[in-house]
Amino acid sequence: ATPLLPYRYLALQLDALMIMTSEPDGRGQQFIAAMCEKVSQSREHFPAAECWADGGITLRAARLLAAAGAQHLVIGRALFTTANYDVTLSQFTAL
């Protein structure tokens, strides 16, 4: 995982940060819960930048990430592999 602190000098220039929450380029990769701490750190060190999270995000992971400060979640596979798209989308948007 890439550390955030070496990039603090960019704090006023960033519009957004993308925190990868699973290993990249793998189908069905599992959410890495330790990335919630990185989300919290991003909110602390880059308060003006929007925080995005992507990778293995289930409803449980979405709750953890939202509590850590993530403002946007990429939920591709969790949404498109569900039996009931409308219900799942409603559950995510209710967070």
Cα R_g (the chain), whole angstroms: 14
Question: Facing residues of 52 across strands?
Answer: 18, 72
Residue 22 and residue 30 in contact, taking contact as beta carbons nearer than 8 Å? yes
CATH number for the domain formed by residue range(s) 14-93: 3.20.20.70
> Where does 1-95 have alpha helices with state H?
35-45, 59-68, 76-80, 85-93
Under-70 pLDDT residues of the chain: 26
Alpha-carbon span 92 to 79, nearest angstrom: 9
**CA-based nearest residue to 4, from 29, 37, 53:** 37
Amino acid at 33: A
Q: What does the pLDDT read at residue 95?
A: 87
3-state SS class at 8: helix
Q: What does the pLDDT read at residue 27?
A: 72
Q: What does the pLDDT read at residue 24?
A: 79
